[in-house]
């Protein structure tokens, strides 16, 4: 799913656009015991309570696509009877009214979700009547021919509020605050099926993680039936290793700077697209060749890429590019350069030593003091 598609579903979480038919919940304590279960028609909920749930659902579709939000494809075996996708389809098709299916889902989550404290599993069913679009891209609400029926799960930490003092308006007095259990914004969640090309895509699921580096691999493998993707940090580290391994002894400053410049140029060209820029094996190979990596150095690139990333997997440009910084480090010095002016820095050999040379045109400050 791209940014535009995520935003379209996110917009449904308002009183005016609400398409939610049913909500179910299960409160789990730190010992993995179910303490409370709830199921009801969403529209029967008091307005103030509904507003707070809307906030939770919006957060489940928040963050950066490719970092916090990842579209994952089900392996073929998970689409067979007994697979994870089949359970999710049954939950959707029964509109969360089958108690046995709900219990099976809750038990799977509790068994595989790694969290040492209390949490609240929220599951909703919704049916979005997707408006048609005219030739000028305007929505035509009376021309819909697609209903996007889906479920969404939000897993929220439940924590005890902090101790402290509070003002009691009735008694006009400052007194000890009563501590209670507070449902926080979700740490994990998913949307199924994915919403792609403005329609249901049952072969994919959109996964949400508040912390991009905490992807809950057991939950992804056993509840969603997917292979845990590389995190944004792992993608960056993998790309850096690929460059280092490919260049070997020829990994010089100019080539690395060229890779940086060309990568940022690709991102600039794709910035108007709602889809994140994905780099496949041929894309990364072309990037390195375009940046001056000699042909003889590319002999083992294909094999190295497949081992590190996977034959069919891709790297997101936004995860591997440093758009905001161009940083040069030695054990004792860190130099940060405007990414658009990396040409101001070069390497030279002076008196037999390798040196960084930085061009200074008109203005120089040291610790905030202008020097000449």
Q: Give residue 144's pLDDT.
A: 66
- Residues 85/202, Cβ–Cβ less than 8 Å: yes
Quote the distance between the C-alpha of residue 87 and its chain's center: 24
pTM value?
A: 0.84
Instruction: pLDDT tens for the chain, 372 residues: list them.
Output: 999 999 999 999 999 999 999 999 999 999 999 999 999 999 999 999 999 999 999 999 999 998 999 999 999 999 988 899 999 999 999 999 999 999 999 999 999 999 999 999 999 999 999 988 766 656 665 556 799 999 999 999 999 989 899 999 999 999 998 888 999 999 999 999 999 999 999 999 999 999 999 999 999 999 999 988 889 899 999 999 988 888 888 788 888 888 888 998 888 888 888 888 899 999 999 999 999 888 888 888 888 888 888 877 889 998 988 777 788 888 888 888 887 888 888 888 899 998 888 888 778 888 888 887
Q: Give residue 359's pLDDT.
A: 84
Radius of gyration of the chain (CA): 26
How far from 178 is each of 136, 168, 196, 330, CA to CA, in Å? 56, 11, 46, 53
Q: Residue 364 and residue 347: Cα distance in Å, rounded?
A: 20
- Residues 22/39, Cβ–Cβ less than 8 Å: yes
Q: Residue 104 and residue 111: Cα distance in Å, rounded?
A: 11
- Residues 27/118, Cβ–Cβ less than 8 Å: yes
- Residues 318/70, Cβ–Cβ less than 8 Å: no
Half-sphere exposure of 148 (CA within 13 A, CB side): 22
Q: Give residue 308's pLDDT.
A: 86
What dihedral angle (degrees, nearest 10) is formed by the CA atoms of 43, 86, 28, 206?
Answer: -70
Sequence-ordered list of residues with C-beta below 8 angstroms from that of 167, at least 6 positions apart, any chain: 173, 174
Burial 202-230 (b: 16+ CB within 10 A, else e): eebbbbbbbebeebbeebbeebbbbebbb
DSSP 65: B
Distance in Å from the first CA to the final CA of the chain: 53
């Amino acid at each position: 799913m791209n940014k535009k598609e995520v935003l379209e579903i996110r917009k449904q979480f308002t009183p005016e656009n609400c398409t939610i038919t049913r909500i179910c919940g299960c409160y789990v304590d730190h010992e993995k015991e179910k303490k409370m279960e709830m199921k009801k028609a969403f529209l029967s909920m008091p307005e103030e309570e509904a507003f707070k749930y809307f906030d939770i659902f919006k957060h489940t579709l928040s963050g950066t696509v490719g970092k916090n939000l990842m579209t994952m494809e089900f392996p073929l075996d998970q689409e067979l009877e007994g697979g994870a996708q089949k359970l999710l389809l049954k939950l959707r098709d029964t509109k969360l009214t089958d108690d046995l299916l709900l219990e099976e889902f809750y038990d799977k989550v509790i068994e595989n979700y790694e969290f040492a404290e209390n949490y609240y599993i929220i599951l909703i069913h919704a049916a979005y009547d997707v408006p048609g679009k005219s030739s000028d891209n305007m929505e035509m609400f009376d021309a819909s021919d697609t209903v996007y029926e889906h479920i969404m799960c939000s897993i929220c930490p439940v924590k005890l509020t902090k101790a402290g003092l509070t003002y009691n308006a009735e008694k006009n007095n400052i007194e000890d605050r009563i501590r209670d259990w507070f449902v926080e914004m979700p740490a994990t969640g998913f949307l199924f099926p994915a919403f792609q090309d403005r329609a249901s895509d049952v072969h994919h699921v959109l996964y949400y993680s508040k912390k991009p580096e905490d992807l809950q691999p057991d939950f992804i493998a056993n509840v969603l039936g997917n292979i845990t993707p590389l995190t944004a940090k792992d993608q960056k580290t993998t790309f850096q290793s690929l460059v280092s391994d490919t260049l070997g002894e020829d990994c010089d400053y100019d080539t690395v700077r060229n890779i940086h410049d060309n990568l940022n140029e690709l991102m600039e060209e794709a910035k108007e697209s709602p889809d994140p820029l994905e780099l496949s094996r041929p894309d990364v190979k072309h990037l390195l060749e375009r940046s001056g990596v000699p042909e003889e150095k590319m002999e083992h690139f294909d094999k190295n890429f497949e081992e590190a990333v996977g034959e069919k997997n891709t790297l997101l440009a936004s995860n591997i590019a440093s758009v905001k910084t161009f940083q040069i480090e030695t054990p004792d010095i860190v130099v940060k350069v405007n990414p658009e002016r990396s040409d101001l820095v070069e390497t030279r050999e002076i008196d037999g030593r390798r040196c960084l040379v930085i061009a200074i045109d008109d203005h120089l400050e040291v610790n905030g003091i202008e020097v000449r």
